[in-house]
């Protein structure tokens, strides 16, 4: 068979999808330019102004204490009557102080801009700017903030900034602190290290004199949320501790010091964050000063909600440092005096002055930004400039006439600042339509191409066509590059790649069309006419279901209910199989009383018992499928949009379960599922004779697989032990937490490597029996007929050998005793499943590794996945067998769209049934700590662990994809046709593929193209959804995350599909070599 | 001959279709404060009851399908009993299928079961009338060459339309439109009813259209 052309064509098809995705995502995800300028005290904000603006007002506070309590949600800080939940009313100090000293303290809602991840928020409330969506990915790779920010301004002004807590700060602001005490932040299971570390130093530092600004970032509340959720006694303890901290800090404050207690974001009811629901964005902001700052009575003008960006200008002006250059926040007014300063008496800024400086600074930033980036729409920019000009006039006339600040002017300034913020928000949510459109075009062409390749089946041999179109693509890409170099002066790789791929795609499609036309001119494509159905499969039920699935991605409701949608479609398709077979009259044996016209089917070689048996297998497969579908519905997680939904209790890690009886029960359940998976794999391999012999792959199946599952079971036991018990073995437990998963991973990697190196699972046993004399008898005949070349000889010999081996395999299974009529000289165990056994084994190894990255309860999900996959394969196999038993099958190896679609829907369904959702807060970050409980140094390893965890179901189904091709052949032997005379033709199993290598490679290519087409269509649909609905209310909440997940899942699934198919080609290569070695021995 | 048969079927279908409207109107006249959404179960059972009654009456009057081999009373009684049993079993069967499709398992069991009853009325009852309590024959009818008369073909069409209608009826449920008919199982029962009605219309038209291609084997 042609191995290399198949692989090349597949690679080319995949790369087309990748380029399309790259182009689209590049145009869709928002980018904001960073302005690399800094404010300084000497800046004159207006052209022609004589005096500098910033530092002149003088500092109202000499020092400040900034207590950042990570994930301090607003309702943690507010008081609520009635019977409080564990997280409520645990910070009484805030209420006591605000009610008893209204001139000294305020509590505001502090609204974060999404994405509500900690690093984004720290950037936001130090630079005063808005984060963009792309930054989410940087949470692992915290790199230094390059934009002007508060920490830099403070350091420049000579303030000694002391930092302690979350080490994200240290990576964001390296070497900018006067003193810094960072503590590791990454381990979410650790509630106390950071907080205890801070508390050890906080009070001592405060009582000392060598600091001006003190930043302390507590992580306990956030980690408690991630680990236990807010509704847990541990949260109450943590908040009570924070209450004590705030009290102690207030006691130590001096009159010239401002205290800010704030949360960087909130958390959902499950303790996660990252999205933009109110529970995630609304944090608490508490301001306190020992000297009175606020007006005594709460006035109407005071804001209820303070945007997070507003902290930056406020703190800057209160501490007497310049406002960072890119800040677009507005000062929090109640902190400034209402009346203008009387000459010389007070040097502090009044509200009007503060707002005016703020407005001038924002105006300057806007001018600079619009000069650099040109992405703010011209009309809104000129609107803002007009507004500012009129404000300028009004302000200067007010100052000239010495009037007091009119409330109207203050309101106008505020509305200007709000308008700027809104314009910026709208601009930084802006897209690149041309890139998006070309990405979509490339994706659509790639889908069409896959469809055409799978239908026309012209690809495998057409290396010439592929080469020509690749050359065409290279030419076009180079042309675009030269053009860009000439006109723009630089090369944008995305465009060149896009042009190259698109032109090569079009060239290939054109070639395909022309080839088809030629074939028709010659009298029709033989492959097509033999199939019997010339109608295009566009309107068939499976493609209709695929269209439904794609359409469902365009509606936010269906994306939210995606798990249910996939199950619904999967079940419908599953039920469709027997209905369809019955409609074709294939499900039941044609009974004589039915009086069918016998001429319709040309005397099909069927026995009604075989048909009945196969129908039973089909119905049993359907039953298993339905059962596992229904059970897996109980393993789903919940989106925040889904009201009245409870996440599966199995998703909670065992360590969180408090009832020990329940914990033990769940542990037993998980281990039993794990053992069942491993045992089932072994049984399958043994049944088909793939567990004999000395080969490397057999070794991989025998030892690393069970040992790795043993390690997994032990690891679960260790990781779920409560911390309080076994205090004496703490070190041992910590060691086991590191070693056990790593050993398991090592075993699995060893298994996979061995499998790749020698994927043959065949055991050859020579037999010295009287059969030796008879066995090789037919061989000379073959030699005589085709003794032209060694290859030709081999080609004819191989089928003969399979026949004999197969027979010996069969006999060897049924009766061990030597009996000698026409027995071959050799017995090969496992030859019938020589292709599928390595694929099954690799899926098993991978599955175990992926299971290890999940929480223990998901073992059940993986067992269901195994069951469902097997059920789908059997369903597919028996429907194929039923068709072929009754003579309605074409006779080639092609896998119908129905099975491919079922397979792909199952991957989507198990994405949800393993507790995943296409949302960022639902990512299971815990996977990064399996085997690395202390966290990581780099970002690649944790990132890939989390990606593997997230897309494990896609990966497993992608690797197992070639099984769809093999399974009908594997199941062939089970049809009880041995008793009939025609047994010689039967039960060749996968050796049938080697008898017809051309059909084999065609079918393999077709299967891969169909898989790619089905997956690619879904990516295309979600890209279309994101593009069409980019102004939709739900775009950043539903469609953009869905696109990211769909695209990432596609990339991973494609890579692993290629791995699966490459393994098949590797096996084919090995089998060829094996036969080459074998046959000369046997013939001579 | 052909035209007569098709015309007879069309008028029979008209009667059955009118039963759906009668089943909707009757409770509206009799009961106060009746609405299809508000008192949905009443509507479902009223439609199911009237369709069942008209179906049985039509098939009994026309004498289609019921080829009684023996005319003894005991045979008739046992046949009735078996028919009832089959109908009940089919209700449970539909109920299970609907639950597997994602209907709530414990809450609103009655609603789910009502949908199953309605579907059984639209599909199984017609099978019972035409083919008697003989599952083998039912399975045979739903194959490409299984239909032996225009009635069988019409049975194929109406059954498929009812089931597909109920299936399509599940589509609007997840949408966030907050309409009264999105409440479980209203959209599915409505879908099944509309499917059944359209099946009743489509069947004679389709048979008329394809009368050249349709060839039935011995009856
Ligand atoms: Zn945080
Ligand atoms: Zn967090």
Q: What is the pLDDT of residues A762-807, one digit of tens each?
A: 776 665 444 333 333 333 333 323 333 444 444 444 555 566 655 5
Angle between helices A952-959 and A897-913 (to 10 degrees): 150
Classify residue B215: in a domain, yes or no: no
Rounded mean pLDDT of chain B? 87
Bond into A839 cis (ω within 30): no
pLDDT digits (tens, 9 = 90+) for A213-227: 999 999 999 989 888
Q: What is the mean pLDDT of residues A440-461?
A: 81
pLDDT of A270 higher than 70: yes
Number of other residues whose CB lies within 10 A of the CB of residue A340: 18
Ligand showing the shortest atom-to-Cα distance for residue A120 = 1
pLDDT of residue A995: 74
pLDDT of A525 higher than 70: no
Classify residue B134: in a domain, yes or no: yes
pLDDT of A279 higher than 50: yes
Rounded to whole angstroms, how far apart are CA atoms B131 and B64? 9
**Which chain B residues are Cβ-neighbours of A561 within 8 angstroms?**
174
Element (H, E) at A214: strand A213-218
| Threshold 0.95, pTM exceeds | no
Nearest residue in B to A627, CA atom? B100
Ligand showing the shortest atom-to-Cα distance for residue A116 = 1
Task: Give the closest residue to A711 by CA, choosing from A842, A852, A844.
Answer: A852
Contact A829, A688 (CB under 8 A): no
Tell whether B8 is within 8 A of chain A (Cβ): no
CA A657 to chain centre: 27
Rounded to whole angstroms, how far apart are CA atoms B26 and A986? 65
Contact A669, A860 (CB under 8 A): yes
Q: Smallest CA–CA separation between B144 and chain A, in Å?
A: 5
- DSSP letter for each residue of A260-316: EEE-S----TTS--SS-SHHHHEEEEEEE-SS--S-SSPPTTS-SEEEGGGHHHHHH
Q: Which residues line ion ligand 2, judged by CB < 5 Å? A: A 222
Rounded to whole angstroms, how far apart are CA atoms A1078 and A98? 89
Q: What is the mean pLDDT of residues A913-925?
A: 87
Rounded to whole angstroms, how far apart are CA atoms A880 and A900? 13
- The CA-based dihedral angle spanning residues A972, A978, A981, A983, taken in that order and rounded to the nearest 10 degrees: 40
Distance from residue A71's CA to the centre of ligand 1 (Å): 5
pLDDT digits (tens, 9 = 90+) for A668-703: 999 999 999 999 998 888 887 777 777 788 888 888
Q: Smallest CA–CA separation between A543 and chain B, in Å?
A: 17
Of A159-163, A724-728, A876-880, minimum mean pLDDT range: A724-728
Contact: A557, B174; criterion CB under 8 Å? yes
Tell whether A562 is within 8 A of chain B (Cβ): no
Contact: B217, A595; criterion CB under 8 Å? yes
Q: For residue A609, name the pLDDT band (cuts at 50, 70, 90).
A: confident
Most confident of A114-128, A1024-1038, B155-169: B155-169
Tell whether B176 is within 8 A of chain A (Cβ): yes
Contact: A583, B143; criterion CB under 8 Å? yes
Classify residue B38: in a domain, yes or no: yes
Task: Give the closest residue to A1042 by CA, choosing from A698, A581, A560.
Answer: A560
Contact: B145, A596; criterion CB under 8 Å? yes
Question: Domain range for residue B69?
Answer: 2-209
Q: What is the mean pLDDT of residues A653-676?
A: 88
Closest to B143 (Cβ–Cβ): which among A582, A597, A600?
A582
Percentage of residues of chain A with pLDDT beyond 90: 35
Contact B56, B127 (CB under 8 A): no
Contact A309, A418 (CB under 8 A): no
Q: For residue A139, name the pLDDT band (cuts at 50, 70, 90).
A: very low
Provide the 3-class DSSP secondary structure of residue A532: coil
Distance from residue A1067's CA to the centre of ligand 1 (Å): 50
Rounded to whole angstroms, how far apart are CA atoms A260 and A264? 12
Task: Give the closest residue to A276 by CA, choosing from A1035, A1046, A1026, A1049.
Answer: A1035
Q: What is the mean pLDDT of residues A387-397?
A: 89
Percentage of residues of chain A with pLDDT beyond 70: 81
Nearest residue in A to B170, CA atom? A568
Percentage of residues of chain B with pLDDT beyond 70: 95
Contacts of A1017 (CB under 8 A, 6+ apart): A447, A546, A550
ipTM above 0.90, yes or no: yes
> What are the distances in angstroms from CA B17 to CA A215, A666, B21, B48, B196?
77, 55, 7, 12, 8
Rounded to whole angstroms, how far apart are CA atoms B44 and A704? 60
pLDDT of A160 higher than 60: yes
| DSSP at A234 | H
Rounded mean pLDDT of chain A? 81
Distance from residue A196's CA to the centre of ligand 2 (Å): 18
Distance from residue A273's CA to the centre of ligand 2 (Å): 6
Classify residue B92: in a domain, yes or no: yes
Residues 695-734 of A with CB under 8 A from B: none
Of A440-444, A777-781, B149-153, minimum mean pLDDT range: A777-781
Q: For residue A255, name the pLDDT band (cuts at 50, 70, 90).
A: confident
Classify residue B214: in a domain, yes or no: no
Percentage of residues of chain B with pLDDT beyond 90: 42
Rounded to whole angstroms, how far apart are CA atoms B52 and A68? 70
pLDDT of residue A788: 39
Q: For residue A887, name the pLDDT band (cuts at 50, 70, 90).
A: low
Best to test chain B binding among A545, A559, A585, A611 (most B CBs inside 10 Å): A585
pLDDT of A429 higher than 50: yes
Number of other residues whose CB lies within 10 A of the CB of residue A201: 16
Closest to A564 (Cβ–Cβ): which among B102, B140, B144?
B102
Of A428-437, A557-566, A917-926, B41-50, minimum mean pLDDT range: A428-437
Bond into B185 cis (ω within 30): yes
pLDDT of residue A535: 44
Best to test chain B binding among A575, A599, A615, A868 (most B CBs inside 10 Å): A575
Helix intervals (H) in A633-729:
660-687, 696-702, 704-719
pLDDT of A958 higher than 90: yes
- DSSP letter for each residue of A783-818: HHHTTT-HHHHHHHHHHHHHHHHHHHHHHHHH--S-
Q: For residue A40, name the pLDDT band (cuts at 50, 70, 90).
A: confident
Rounded to whole angstroms, how far apart are CA atoms A387 and A378? 14
Best to test chain A binding among B104, B123, B143 (most A CBs inside 10 Å): B143
Q: In this structure, what are the phi and psi dihedrals at residue A925, rounded to the nearest 5 degrees?
A: -65, -20
Of A786-790, A879-883, B79-83, B210-214, minimum mean pLDDT range: A786-790
Tell whether A765 is within 8 A of chain B (Cβ): no
Contact: B167, A572; criterion CB under 8 Å? yes
pLDDT: which is higher, A730 or A332: A332
Please give the sequence-ordered ranges of beta strands (E in DSSP) within A70-197, or none if there are none: 105-111, 161-166, 179-183
pLDDT of residue A765: 63
Contact: B175, A557; criterion CB under 8 Å? yes
Best to test chain B binding among A560, A564, A592, A644 (most B CBs inside 10 Å): A564
pLDDT digits (tens, 9 = 90+) for B110-141: 999 999 999 999 999 988 888 888 888 888 88
Distance from residue A272's CA to the centre of ligand 1 (Å): 10
Classify residue B217: in a domain, yes or no: no
Tell whether A558 is within 8 A of chain B (Cβ): yes
Rounded to whole angstroms, how far apart are CA atoms A736 and A712? 11
Rounded to whole angstroms, how far apart are CA atoms A1009 and A1004? 9
Task: Give the closest residue to A1022 by CA, choosing from A1042, A1051, A1037, A1052.
Answer: A1042
Contact A917, A637 (CB under 8 A): yes
pLDDT of residue A792: 44
Distance from residue A947's CA to the centre of ligand 1 (Å): 22
- Provide the number of CB pairs (under 8 Å) joining chain A to chain B: 45
Q: What is the mean pLDDT of residues A486-503?
A: 81
pLDDT: which is higher, A971 or A962: A962
pLDDT of residue A781: 31
> What are the distances in angstroms from CA A373 to CA A572, A615, A990?
52, 67, 62
- CB-count burial class (<10 Å; 0-12, 13-18, 19+) for A811: middle
Rounded to whole angstroms, how far apart are CA atoms A338 and A335? 9
A73-102 in b/e form (b: 16+ CB < 10 A) is bbbbbebeeeeeebbbbbbebbeebbeeee
Count Cα atoms within 13 angstroms, Cβ side, for A34. Answer: 16
pLDDT of A492 higher than 80: no
Q: What is the mean pLDDT of residues A285-308?
A: 82
Distance from residue A30's CA to the centre of ligand 2 (Å): 23
Q: In this structure, what are the phi and psi dihedrals at residue A283, rounded to the nearest 5 degrees?
A: -105, 180
Q: Smallest CA–CA separation between A630 and chain B, in Å?
A: 6
Q: Smallest CA–CA separation between A580 and chain B, in Å?
A: 8
pLDDT of residue B217: 59
Percent helix, strand and coil across chain A, each to the nearest 5: 60, 5, 35
Helix intervals (H) in A688-765:
696-702, 704-719, 730-757
Contacts of A668 (CB under 8 A, 6+ apart): none
Contact: B139, A585; criterion CB under 8 Å? no
| DSSP at A763 | E
pLDDT of residue B158: 93
pLDDT of A79 higher than 50: yes
> What are the distances in angstroms from CA A656 to CA A234, A268, A719, A827?
11, 18, 11, 54
Of A423-437, A499-513, A835-849, B173-187, minimum mean pLDDT range: A423-437
Rounded to whole angstroms, how far apart are CA atoms A345 and A362? 29
pLDDT digits (tens, 9 = 90+) for A574-594: 999 999 888 888 777 765 444
- CB-count burial class (<10 Å; 0-12, 13-18, 19+) for A1059: middle
Are β-strands A161-166 and A213-218 bridged in parallel, bridged antiparallel, or unpaired? parallel
> What are the distances in angstroms from CA A830 to CA A683, A703, A814?
13, 18, 14
Contact: A568, B143; criterion CB under 8 Å? no
If DSSP states are collapsed to H, E and C, what string results for chain B? CHHHHHHHHHHHHHHHHHHHHHHHHHHHHHCCCCCCCCCHHHHHHHHHHHHHHHHHHHHHHHCCCCCCCCCCHHHHHHHHHHHHHHHHHHHHHHHHHHHHCCCCCCCCHHHHHHHHHHHHHHCHHHHHHHHCCCHHHHHHHCCCCCCCCHHHHHHHHHHHHHHHHHHHHCCCCCCCCCCHHHCCCHHHHHHHHHHHHHHHHHHHHHHHHCCCCCCCCCC
Classify residue B6: in a domain, yes or no: yes
Lookup result for tokens 């281990």? A671
Max CA distance (Å), chain A? 123
Nearest residue in A to B101, CA atom? A568
Count of structural domains within chain B: 1
pLDDT of residue A517: 61
Classify residue B216: in a domain, yes or no: no
Distance from residue A725's CA to the centre of ligand 2 (Å): 27
Residues 88-147 of B with CB under 8 A from A: 97, 100-102, 139-140, 142-146
Contact: B100, A626; criterion CB under 8 Å? yes
Distance from residue A254's CA to the centre of ligand 1 (Å): 28
pLDDT of A815 higher than 80: no
Of A350-364, A435-449, A512-526, B128-142, minimum mean pLDDT range: A512-526
Q: Which residues pair with B2 in a beta bridge?
A: none
Contact A673, A865 (CB under 8 A): no
């Amino acid at each position: 068979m042609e191995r290399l052309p198949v692989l090349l064509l597949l690679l080319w098809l995949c790369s087309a999808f990748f380029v399309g995705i790259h182009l689209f995502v590049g145009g869709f995800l928002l980018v904001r330019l960073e302005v690399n300028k800094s404010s300084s005290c000497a800046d004159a904000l207006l052209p022609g102004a004589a005096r500098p603006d910033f530092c002149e007002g003088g500092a109202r506070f000499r020092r400040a204490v900034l207590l950042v309590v990570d994930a301090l949600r607003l309702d943690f800080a507010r008081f609520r009557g009635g019977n409080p939940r564990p997280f409520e009313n645990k910070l009484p100090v805030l209420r006591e102080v605000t009610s008893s000293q209204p001139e000294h303290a305020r509590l505001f809602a502090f609204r974060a801009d999404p994405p509500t991840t900690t690093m984004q928020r720290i950037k936001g409330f130090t630079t005063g700017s808005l984060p963009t969506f792309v930054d989410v990915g940087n949470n692992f790779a915290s790199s230094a903030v390059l934009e002007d920010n508060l920490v830099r301004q403070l350091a420049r002004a000579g303030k000694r900034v002391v930092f302690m807590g979350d080490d994200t700060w240290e990576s964001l602001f390296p070497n900018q602190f006067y003193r810094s005490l960072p503590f590791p932040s990454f381990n979410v299971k650790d509630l106390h290290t950071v907080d205890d570390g801070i508390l050890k130093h906080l009070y001592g530092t405060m009582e000392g004199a060598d600091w001006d600004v003190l930043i302390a970032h507590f992580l306990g509340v956030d980690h408690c949320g991630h680990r236990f959720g807010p509704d847990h006694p541990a949260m109450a303890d943590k908040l009570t501790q924070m209450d004590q901290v705030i009290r102690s800090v207030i006691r130590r404050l001096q009159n010239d010091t401002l205290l800010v207690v704030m949360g960087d974001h909130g958390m959902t009811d499950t303790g996660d964050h990252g999205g933009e629901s109110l529970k995630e964005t609304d944090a608490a902001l508490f301001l306190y000063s020992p000297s009175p700052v606020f007006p005594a009575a709460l006035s109407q003008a005071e804001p209820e909600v303070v945007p997070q960006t507003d902290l930056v200008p406020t703190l800057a002006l209160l501490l007497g440092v310049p406002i960072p250059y890119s800040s677009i926040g507005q000062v929090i007014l109640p902190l400034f005096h209402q009346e203008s300063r009387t000459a010389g008496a007070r040097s502090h800024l009044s509200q009007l002055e503060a707002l005016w400086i703020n407005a001038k600074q924002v105006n300057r930033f806007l001018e600079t930004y619009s000069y650099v980036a040109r992405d703010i729409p011209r009309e809104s920019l000129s609107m803002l400039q007009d507004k500012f000009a009129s404000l300028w006039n009004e302000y200067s006339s007010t100052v000239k006439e010495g009037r007091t600040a009119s409330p109207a002017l203050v309101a106008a300034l505020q509305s200007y600042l709000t308008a700027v913020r809104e314009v910026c928000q709208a601009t930084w949510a802006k897209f690149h339509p041309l890139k998006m459109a070309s990405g979509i075009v490339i994706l659509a062409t790639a889908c069409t191409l896959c469809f055409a390749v799978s239908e026309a089946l012209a690809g495998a041999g057409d290396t010439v066509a592929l080469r020509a179109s690749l050359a065409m693509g290279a030419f076009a890409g180079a042309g675009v590059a030269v053009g860009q170099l000439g006109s723009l002066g630089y090369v944008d790789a995305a465009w060149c790649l896009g042009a190259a791929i698109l032109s090569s795609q079009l060239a290939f499609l054109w070639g395909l069309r022309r080839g088809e036309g030629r074939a028709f001119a010659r009298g029709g494509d033989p492959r097509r006419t033999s199939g019997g159905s010339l109608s295009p499969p566009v309107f068939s039920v499976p493609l209709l279901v695929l269209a439904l699935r794609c359409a469902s991605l365009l509606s936010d409701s269906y994306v939210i209910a995606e798990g249910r949608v996939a199950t619904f479609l999967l079940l419908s398709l599953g039920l469709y199989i027997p209905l369809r077979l019955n409609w074709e009259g294939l499900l039941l044996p044609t009974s004589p009383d039915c009086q069918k016209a016998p001429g319709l089917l040309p005397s099909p070689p069927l026995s009604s018992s075989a048909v009945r048996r196969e129908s039973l297998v089909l119905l049993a497969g359907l039953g298993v499928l339905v059962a596992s579908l229904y059970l897996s519905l109980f393993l789903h997680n919940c989106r925040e949009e889904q009201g009245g939904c409870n996440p599966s209790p199995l998703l909670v890690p065992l360590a969180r379960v408090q009832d020990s009886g329940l914990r033990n029960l769940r542990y037993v359940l998980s281990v039993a599922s794990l053992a069942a998976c491993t045992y089932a794999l072994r049984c399958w391999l043994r049944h088909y004779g793939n567990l004999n012999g000395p080969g490397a792959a057999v070794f991989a199946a025998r030892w690393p697989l069970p040992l790795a599952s043993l390690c997994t079971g032990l690891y679960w036991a260790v990781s779920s032990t409560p911390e309080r018990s076994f205090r004496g073995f703490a070190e041992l437990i910590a060691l086991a937490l590191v070693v056990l998963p790593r050993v398991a991973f090592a075993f699995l990697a060893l298994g996979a490597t061995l499998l790749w190196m020698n994927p043959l699972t065949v055991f050859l046993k020579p037999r010295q029996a009287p059969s030796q004399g008879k066995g090789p008898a037919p061989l000379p005949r073959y030699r005589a007929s085709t003794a032209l070349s060694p290859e030709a000889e081999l080609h004819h010999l191989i089928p003969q050998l399979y026949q004999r081996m197969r027979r010996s395999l069969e006999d060897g299974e049924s009766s061990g005793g030597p009996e000698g009529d026409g027995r071959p000289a050799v017995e090969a165990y496992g030859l019938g499943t020589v292709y599928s056994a390595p694929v099954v084994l690799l899926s098993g190894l991978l599955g175990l590794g992926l299971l290890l990255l999940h929480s223990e309860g998901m073992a059940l999900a993986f067992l269901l996945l195994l069951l469902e996959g097997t059920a789908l394969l059997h369903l597919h196999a028996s429907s194929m067998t039923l068709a072929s038993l009754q003579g309605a099958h074409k006779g080639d190896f092609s896998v119908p769209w129905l099975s491919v679609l079922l397979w792909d829907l199952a991957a989507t369904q198990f994405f949800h049934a393993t507790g995943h959702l296409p949302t960022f807060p639902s990512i299971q970050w815990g996977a990064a700590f399996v085997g690395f409980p202390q966290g990581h140094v780099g970002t690649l390893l944790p990132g890939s662990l989390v990606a593997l965890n997230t897309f494990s179901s896609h990966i497993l189904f992608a690797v197992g994809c070639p099984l769809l091709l093999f399974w009908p052949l594997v199941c062939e032997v089970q049809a009880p046709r041995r008793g009939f005379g025609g047994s010689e033709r039967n039960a060749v199993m996968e050796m049938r593929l080697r008898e017809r290598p051309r059909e084999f490679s065609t079918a393999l290519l077709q299967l891969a193209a169909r898989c790619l087409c089905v997956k690619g269509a879904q990516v295309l649909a979600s890209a279309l959804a994101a593009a069409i609905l980019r102004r939709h209310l739900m775009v950043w909440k539903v469609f953009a995350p869905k696109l990211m997940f769909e695209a990432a899942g596609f990339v991973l699934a494609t890579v692993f599909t290629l791995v699966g198919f490459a393994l098949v080609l590797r096996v084919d290569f090995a089998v060829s070599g094996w036969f080459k070695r074998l046959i000369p021995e046997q013939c001579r | 001959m052909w035209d007569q048969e098709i015309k007879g079927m069309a008028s029979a279908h008209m009667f059955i279709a009118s039963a759906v409207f009668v089943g909707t109107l009757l409770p509206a006249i009799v009961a106060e404060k009746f609405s299809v959404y508000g008192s949905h179960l009443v509507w479902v059972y009223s439609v199911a009851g009237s369709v069942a009654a008209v179906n049985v009456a039509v098939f009994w009057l026309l004498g289609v399908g019921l080829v009684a081999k023996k005319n003894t009373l005991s045979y008739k009684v046992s046949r009735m009993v078996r028919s009832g049993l089959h109908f009940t079993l089919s209700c449970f069967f539909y109920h299970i299928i609907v639950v597997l499709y994602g209907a709530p398992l414990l809450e609103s069991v009655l609603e789910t079961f009502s949908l199953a009853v309605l579907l059984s009325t639209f599909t199984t009852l017609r099978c019972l009338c035409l083919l008697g309590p003989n599952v083998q024959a039912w399975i045979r009818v739903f194959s490409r060459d299984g239909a032996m008369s225009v009635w069988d073909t019409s049975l194929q069409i109406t059954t498929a339309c009812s089931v597909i209608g109920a299936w399509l009826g599940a589509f609007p449920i997840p949408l966030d439109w907050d309409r009264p008919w999105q409440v479980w199982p209203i959209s599915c029962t409505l879908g099944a009813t509309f499917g059944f009605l359209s099946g009743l219309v489509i069947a004679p038209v389709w048979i008329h259209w394809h009368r050249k291609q349709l060839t039935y084997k011995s009856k």
